[in-house]
Structure formats: structure tokens, C-alpha cells
Amino acid sequence: MKDRIDLIRQINLSYESLSKGHRKIADYIINNSERVAFMTAADLGKKVGTSESTVVRFAKALNFSGYPKLQKALQQLIRNKLTTVQRMKMTDQENQSEILKKVLDSDIQNIRNSLTELNPEVFQQVVQEIQNAKHIFIMGMRSSKLLAEYFVFYLKLIRPGVYIVDSEYNEPIESLLHIAKDDLVITISYPRYSYKTIETLEFIRKRGIKIVGITDSTESPIYSVSHYPLIAQGNMFSIVDSLVAPMSVINALIVAIGNERREALTERFTELEEIWDSIHTYSQGNK
């Protein structure tokens, strides 16, 4: 299904043959697709007054292998279209006492799903590209900037030549004007995808620079322009972007690169510990 209209058309074409219970589900999806995209089968069944198993059978009646496939199709279609206000409305009727559990459960599920979608071979290729690159430029805009800064902080401790792409005081492209073919660009981008990120990557790719893209799905515009795409899910919850899974992927990259440079890193951190101690960087607790 290339767009939401195709999905609605499919529902409409099947509508007359649907059972009464399935029609209630179909009506709710047509009118509330943004909300349904992030509801479980049980939640959807409860909302329309039917059972979870009926929801699963409805998805299969539309030729999906199960409800998760139907839900994923909806998520991909609306992911970059929701405004902040629309995202807030998705949880405007949530029970306050359930929010903590739902948010943490969602983050846990994002990590689990990412484990199945991440390609271990691509991950290892990224580790080697980071090892071999002369300079590394890490870019993240809007909420993704926090992940980029975190990545830069630790990668600078492991190897030289690591830079954040400035998007606050300059156009991102201006920070990359002198990039060379033996350099590497790492981009982190999540819905709603920043246009400047896409524009900058297209500029970089034309210059023959290798790109690592950390993003949420194969439907992301970042995925198609990256030489080494790493998928870490970030299904949204209200106005908040879930960045737990990409943070875990970044942590894994840092650990893997640290292991590759274990001997040199031991010497470097021994020196750093002496410096940190001399300038009282960290609290000594009760000492």
C-alpha cells in the first residue's frame, strides 16, 4: 500500500463482505488511523467493543499476516505526517496511572524490535568505517541532536578527528564544505525528519562521501541515501520521540570501537584519569 488512500480503498472494497464486528473496526480505523497506528490489538478491540482475536482476524481479512503487519503499515504511512498537536491527541485520554508503564513498555519493545531489524554485518562494517575514517562528522537535528552530541562526546575519548555538524549557528552544509573522500558522515534522524538533514545528505552523497544513517525504518528518507543504514525503532509516544533504541545502538558502536582499540584506549584513559583527578573533575564521594 503506497499511501493511506490505498489502505482505505482496500477496506472499502472489502467492507460489504466484512462481519458486523469487522465493520466496527474498519470504521474506527478509517476515522482514527493516527491513533490506531500505535494501539495494541487488545486496546483497539476494547475501544470498539470487540475482542483482541476479532481484531487479529480483521487484519487477516485484509490480507495481512496479522495485526502487527497492519499496524506497522499504518505507522509507516503516518509517521512523518503527524503534527505535534495530533501526537498529543493520541494520548489525551490515557489514564495517568498507566502512562509510566506504557512508555517504558514501548521503549522496551522498540529495543526488541530493533534487535530483529538490525543487520549485524552492516553494524560491523560501520565499526570498521569509524575505525578507518580520517575524520568523522556526526549530524543530528532537532531532538536527534542530543544523540549526536552524546556520540561525539564518547567517540572523542576513543579516537581523534571527531566533530559535531553545527546546525545551530550555520547551515549544516557549511560545516561540511571541506570534507574529503576518506572522511565519514554519521547521521541520526527520526520523525519528523528534518528537511535540512535530507538536503545535507544529498549534497554529501554527490561528493562521494560514505554515509552511516541511524534511523527508524526502511521507509525513512535517511535509509535510502545511507551507504550503511542502521535501523533502531523509535515509535512515538505523544509529543516525545522515543530515542532509547538508537541510544542503545550508539552505545553498542562505542563499546565495539573501544574493544578494537583496547590497548591504546587503556593508556589514554590512564592518562585521562590522572588529569581528571588533578583538576577535580569528579566528586570523590566521602573522601
> For residue range 221-241, what is the model confidence (pLDDT) as tens digits?
899 899 999 999 887 656 667
Contact between 138 and 125 (Cβ < 8 Å): no
| Judgement on whether residues 133 and 48 belong to the same structural domain of the protein | no
Longest dimension (CA), the chain: 77
Nearest CA to 214 out of 239, 236, 197 is that of 197
pLDDT over threshold 90, residue 249: yes
91 occurs within a structural domain: no
Is residue 251 in some structural domain?
A: yes
Residue 100 lies in a domain: no
Domain's final residue, options 78, 105, 134: 78
User: What's the CA gap between 23 and 20, in Å, rounded?
Assistant: 5
Domain limit, last residue, from 78, 104, 133: 78
**Does the residue 93 lie in any domain?**
no
| Mean of pLDDT values over 119-134 | 95
* Domain region containing 32: 4-78
**83: pLDDT strictly greater than 60:** no
285 Rama sector, left if φ>0, alpha if ψ -120 to 50, beta otherwise = left
Q: Are 172 and 121 contained in the same domain?
A: yes
Same domain, 19 and 153: no
pLDDT at 59 over 60: yes
Residue that is written with C-alpha cell 547521521 in the block: 187
Let me know if residue 83 belongs to a domain: no
